[in-house]
Amino acid sequence: MNFTVSFVNDGLVDIEAITTFGVSSKEGDNPIGYFGTGFKYAIAVFLRAGCTVKLYRGEELYTFGVERKKIRADEFDAVTMNGESLGFTTQLGCNWAPWQGFRELWCNALDEGGYLCAGAAEIAADKTIVTVTGAVIHTTYIDRAHIVLLEEPWKTIEGVEIHRRPSAHMYYRGVRVGELTRPSLYTYNVVSDPLTLTEDRTLKSIWDWNWAVSKAAAAVDNARFARDWLTAASITYEGNTGLTTSNLGPVMREVLENLDFSLIRNPRVHELYERVFGYATKPTATETATSEAEVIDKSLRHLASMGILVTHPIEVVDDLPDSCLGLARDDTIFIARRTFMRGTKMVAGTIMEEHIHLHTGLADETRGLQDYLVDLAVTLGEKITQVTL
């Protein structure tokens, strides 16, 4: 496919800046990037993808290509400009995806007050224009709204812009700089905190970005946003990120205080509730059905026969956070109603686990809990085999 994208820059580039590594000369007051290798990486990325790359310096044309070379025992595609070797191969930036090359060329244009356009831009004596032609650049161009943010944000607070659309990416000063491990309900763009980027324009510290977003989210004065964040599912970014107590705004605080416990999926929201209000959230118990009471009684008798005597009160609730089956809180064992649908063995196991949490104080997914369960299994094995180890 002969689809072309043009990256238009004001002014005429110094050709030495293009061909020399370690050179960065940005005229803007607040350049997005500052590594001289970026443009070379972008050239290598698109040549490797089979695209045609050209540069117009005013009316002067520079065409980038490849020349097969053997270096020691291996062959490489050396990058050339107007037939002259540039001293690097298409393996430069071998881990870069096409969108990163697109981002690099676009950011260079933005840094110099330029723009991008579909098709071949008109050649001008005072412009530097990079054109890329090929199928890959077409696909990347279609996805450009997820590479650089150009639309107005919904809200800007605490140095973070918030857009009312989901995202799979992290943004810094309008540019995509990282991938989220879980998709977010909103798009977040840090614009004020000085974050450090690596040479490929990705975040050096994801923690710093998360901290900036956490501070901003806590202060947002919108009840719908607060509710979305506080009740977010565990598969989302918001459902796995905490909020800073010191920055908690009145709207977020009010929504948190009046939130139905059963809607909270994020354990960090429970911790936030405790820090803010001084006491833990507690699920609302519902009336236990006769059949459920019978299953609980059978489970308790079975556990007692194993030497596990459960004395804590047990309450059945309609739901628990993060799809949990059981919860130990306030010296009480809470069992989610859906647990009973999985049989008596699951109910008994859930009661046993929450009993252990209350009895020992050991938390989920810890080495201490693992050791306790292993010791318990060995002890039960001694009773079954009547062999003392």
CA–CA gap between residue 216 and residue 221 (Å, rounded): 10
* pLDDT tens, the chain, 389 aa long: 689 999 999 888 888 877 776 555 454 444 444 335 788 899 999 999 999 999 999 999 999 999 888 777 678 889 999 998 888 888 888 888 999 999 999 988 888 788 999 999 999 999 999 999 999 999 999 999 999 998 999 999 999 999 999 999 999 999 999 999 999 999 999 998 789 888 777 888 899 999 999 999 999 999 999 999 999 988 899 998 989 888 899 999 999 988 877 777 788 888 888 888 876 665 655 666 678 889 999 999 999 888 889 988 998 887 776 668 888 877 889 898 889 888 899 999 999 999 998 888 887 777 888 888 888 888 888 878 877 76
Inter-axis angle of helices 206-219 and 250-257, nearest 10: 80
Count of alpha carbons within 13 angstroms of residue 212, beta-carbon side: 24
pLDDT recorded at residue 112:
78
Residues 363, 235, 260, CA angle at the centre, nearest 5°? 70
No. of H helices and E strands in the chain?
Answer: 11, 15
pLDDT recorded at residue 193:
76
185: three-class secondary structure by DSSP: coil
Q: How do residues 66-101 score in pLDDT, each as one tens digit?
A: 988 877 767 888 999 999 888 888 888 888 899 999
Q: What is the pTM of this model?
A: 0.67
Q: Which two tokens stand for residue 134?
A: 């090929």
pLDDT recorded at residue 281:
62
CA–CA gap between residue 136 and residue 145 (Å, rounded): 16
Residues 153, 156, 157, CA angle at the centre, nearest 5°? 155
As a whole number of Å, the CA-based R_g of the chain is: 30
Domains and CATH numbers, the chain: 4-144 (no CATH), 155-277 (no CATH), 290-385 (3.30.2010)
pLDDT recorded at residue 36:
58
CA–CA gap between residue 234 and residue 232 (Å, rounded): 7
CA–CA gap between residue 160 and residue 209 (Å, rounded): 10
What does the DSSP assignment read for 67-123?
A: EEEEETTEEEEEEEETTEEEEEETTTTTT--HHHHHHHHHHHHHHTT-EEEESPPPP
147: three-class secondary structure by DSSP: coil
Q: Which two tokens stand for residue 57?
A: 């310096």
